[in-house]
Structure 1
Amino acid sequence: MGWIMEGADDQVAAIIVAGGVGARARQPEWAELPKQYQLLAGKPVIHHTLKAFLDCPEVNLIITVIADGMENEYRKAVNGITDSRLLPPVTGGATRQQSVHNGLAALAALAELNISNVLVHDAARPFANAQVIRDVLASLQEHDAVISAVPETSTLKKVNADSGLIEDTVNRESIWQAQTPQGFRFSEILALHQKYAALELTDDAALFEQDGRPVAVSKGHVQNIKITHPEDFDLAESYMRISDNFEFRTGQGFDVHRFEDGDSVTLCGVSIPHDRKLKGHSDADVAMHALTDAILGAICEGDIGFHFPPSEPQWKGAPSNVFLEKARDLASDKNGLITHCDITIICEKPKVNPHREAMRARLAEILRCDVQRVSVKATTTEKLGFTGREEGISALATATVRLPAETDT
């Protein structure tokens, strides 16, 4: 399952609920197509929703609950998404509550993954950004149930359903609009779904309320709308244009390591048999060191020596994935997305091509990105220079990171 770690603690799963038919959002020209499969900025709504969770590295796996008969639409919607964290979909039930329960049951069957927390999110909410997701997960450190929500800002009126006349003005100070994701301790929400399976509630937090248990609120975002009516697509399209306010930065990295006596070299996290090894304070993975520096350069966070000084004994013999993971996390802290990386390994021997795909897969696993975003190449110097004399190996790398655009104040 890619970088999902069997046996690890505190695994986070997300259930994307896409089992509804979205009747309120239908118009004649798309009457047969539920809203989560309608196009938004050229891609199905659910495609954007899934990408929002896949862009959040704190989420370890994602399962989608779809309506019976929607398998083909779902396959088209996820075309181009190859992240191993996205599990095959499961079929939902007649109600939202039954659909979520089906998703929970599917996750419960993956007991070896030790899922501790679960997020439940509506497929028709494509604007749940990484910060909203992280805030819910942070609140789960102290609470068993958390919902994303925003405080009400409009004046609220209580209206008589029969007469259509206002009966009262509602105090809005304590009124919040519930959103998703909603986060729960996995074992707790599964037990409550089983306990109250006969009820039909509008969200999962209501199960905790039904059981007399507290639910915390995490500050959501006003743009995290649920597409419900046809006119919501116009608003969503405008939000999509706003969300495109990103800039792309490119960093470069270069590293060299000499050979010494040994029986293998490590390149891009892959051990390759050889009659020598690379000399270095860590495992001397010259390619991964170059890529680490490229990512750090793209986000203006110094270089590998700044974060991991070779003078510190704790890094002696350290696997280089530790360094790359640090660069990845620093990019994530800036709400950055690593969109592409390219490595060129320069050596006469060993031959890189037979190990290229394993290298790409390992880097994608560490970076938590699609393998199609990772390029590994190799070349020689035609017997010229220190690499031509087989005295060592050098590597060049570039990394492109998408970051929220900075604005002048």
Structure 2
Amino acid sequence: MSVAALIVAAGRGSRAGDGFPKQYRDLEGQSVLARTLFRFLSHPEVDRVLVVIHPDDRDLYEASIGALAPLPPTLQPCVYGGETRQDSVRNGLEALAASTPDIVLVHDAARPFASPELIDRAIQAAQRWDAAVPGTAVTDTIKVISRQSEVVSTPDRASLRAVQTPQAFQFVLLLNAHRKAAAAGLQAFTDDGALAEWAGMPVHVFEGESANIKLTHPADFAEAERRLGGSLVTHITKLGTGFDVHAFGDGDHIWLGGIRVPHDQGVIAHSDGDVILHALTDAILGALADGDIGTHFPPSDPQWRGASSDRFLAHAVGLVRERGGIVDHLDTTLLCEKPRLGPHREAMRQRIAEIAGLHVDQVSLKATTTEKLGFTGRSEGIAAQAAATIRLPEANP
């Protein structure tokens, strides 16, 4: 039977605190989403994996999957989610309908610790039943209370289960249930098992895992970091530097730090000529001792003509994560008389952080003039120098 995994990654994760949506936050050198995807992409019985993302998160998504390069053919093009989780799941199911798998596993992107054995049980449960969800025994006593906080009843905890994902379904039955709920205008379902119950499908529970936690609050991330930090891998700090320069030419704007900046000139370049992103890319490649930007993206290759430089930086960051490394900090100094950096600094820092999958406080951006000296002083061109600090696993002797 063909098996598809649908990873729901379109939420905002506001309870996890300030910063990126939780599925894109860093866990020991890889995003939460990258770790979750690896669990399903590496499972031998999962034929295809599709991720549903928020439309605003495309760059964060691309940076996350860059850590998985080379990408396996089982990873399908992502699709955009909707206003609710229910909408997002339905969008993903509709995208999968073109190939109509037999079984679909619906999984939260913020659960990066699902084991191969749990995925095995999910597939087996879907083969046995139309709908099944993983559950763990409840160890605390549960109270049902009124609006006035008065205890109404105490259920027998032996009959209670805390439900997780991946939830497993016969694909066509779940798709039809979602279509039926949408046609009825029902949007309250936050759990596909509950939607299946509403649609009249018998839903069974199979054994979940206590380690299959959902990262929701800051304390959950602290626990995840503690768990991952328990490995014996030692990381060594590496520092790389980069430099880039472009002459001014005709035009009405330049690209800096991934932001389109109005200017009375453009730059002469093979790609978009973003000196900040080019310098940062070279700094990361330098820390990796892996050539330079021209090695990876040769200007003689016509496919890079006019290319957006965010692809270069995302590629370099992906190489770090592919090697089990961590990007700690990016620092750039822009050298020019004009345009002024100040009005655009924070937008550039945010954009660089998005491309690299970092927090904005891991990105530093400064500017200086050359006191009217040299080609930058004469406003003939623009330059940037950058430094990148990364950590890589220590090589075995």
**Aligned partners of 1:132 and 1:17: how far apart in 2?**
18
Q: Aligned residue for 2:16?
A: 25
Mapping of 1:316-331 within 5 angstroms?
Answer: none
**Aligned partners of 1:60 and 1:127: how far apart in 2?**
20
Q: State, as a whole percentage, how many aligned pairs show the same letter.
A: 43
TM-score by length of 2: 0.55
2:47 to 31, 37, 60: 60
**Aligned partners of 2:176 and 2:152: how far apart in 1?**
40
2:56 to 51, 69, 72: 69
Q: Secondary structure at the match of 2:166?
A: strand
1:36 to 8, 18, 23: 23
Q: Aligned residue for 2:88?
A: 99
CA deviation after TM superposition for structure 1 residue 166, in Å: 3.7
**Are residue 223 (structure 1) and residue 211 (structure 2) matched?**
yes
Residues 167, 133 of structure 1: alpha-carbon distance in 2 compared, 3 angstrom cutoff: same
Q: Aligned residue for 2:126?
A: 140
CA deviation after TM superposition for structure 1 residue 56, in Å: 1.1
**Are residue 238 (structure 1) and residue 229 (structure 2) matched?**
no
CA deviation after TM superposition for structure 1 residue 213, in Å: 2.1
Q: Which runs of 5+ in 1 are unaligned?
A: 1-9, 247-371, 374-409
Q: Aligned residue for 2:116?
A: 130
Per-residue CA deviations over 1:99-120 (Å, capped at 9, x if unaligned) read 0011011111235xxx110000
**Aligned partners of 1:35 and 1:109: how far apart in 2?**
30
**Aligned partners of 1:171 and 1:177: how far apart in 2?**
14
Residues 98, 14 of structure 1: alpha-carbon distance in 2 compared, 3 angstrom cutoff: same
Residues 193, 54 of structure 1: alpha-carbon distance in 2 compared, 3 angstrom cutoff: same
Q: Contact 1:223/1:239 (CA < 8 Å) preserved in 2? A: no
Q: Aligned residue for 1:90?
A: 79
Q: Aligned residue for 1:208?
A: 196
Q: Which runs of 5+ in 2 are unaligned?
A: 234-321, 324-397
Q: Contact 2:105/2:168 (CA < 8 Å) preserved in 1? A: yes
**Are residue 180 (structure 1) and residue 151 (structure 2) matched?**
no
Q: Which is worse superposed, 211-220 or 58-67?
A: 211-220
Q: Aligned pairs, how many? A: 230
Q: CA RMSD in A?
A: 1.9
Greater than 6 Å deviation, 4+ residue runs: none
**Aligned partners of 2:145 and 2:107: how far apart in 1?**
31
**Aligned partners of 1:245 and 1:53: how far apart in 2?**
25
**Are residue 190 (structure 1) and residue 178 (structure 2) matched?**
no
CA deviation after TM superposition for structure 1 residue 211, in Å: 2.0
2:135 to 139, 146, 149: 149
Q: Aligned residue for 2:147?
A: 161
Q: Secondary structure at the match of 1:231?
A: helix
Q: Contact 1:119/1:184 (CA < 8 Å) preserved in 2? A: yes
- What is the identity, as a one-letter code, of the residue corresponding to 1:195? K
Per-residue CA deviations over 1:125-169 (Å, capped at 9, x if unaligned) read 10111100000111122100011111111111233333x344443
Q: Contact 2:5/2:49 (CA < 8 Å) preserved in 1? A: yes
- The structure, 1 or 2, with the larger RCO (C-alpha pairs under 8 Å, 6+ apart) is 2
CA deviation after TM superposition for structure 1 residue 17, in Å: 0.1
TM-score by length of 1: 0.54
**Aligned partners of 2:33 and 2:146: how far apart in 1?**
37
Q: Secondary structure at the match of 2:136?
A: strand
Residues 69, 161 of structure 1: alpha-carbon distance in 2 compared, 3 angstrom cutoff: same
- What is the identity, as a one-letter code, of the residue corresponding to 1:19? A
Q: Contact 1:19/1:67 (CA < 8 Å) preserved in 2? A: yes
- What is the identity, as a one-letter code, of the residue corresponding to 2:28? A
Mapping of 1:265-344 within 5 angstroms?
Answer: none
Per-residue CA deviations over 1:81-108 (Å, capped at 9, x if unaligned) read 2111111110000000110011011111
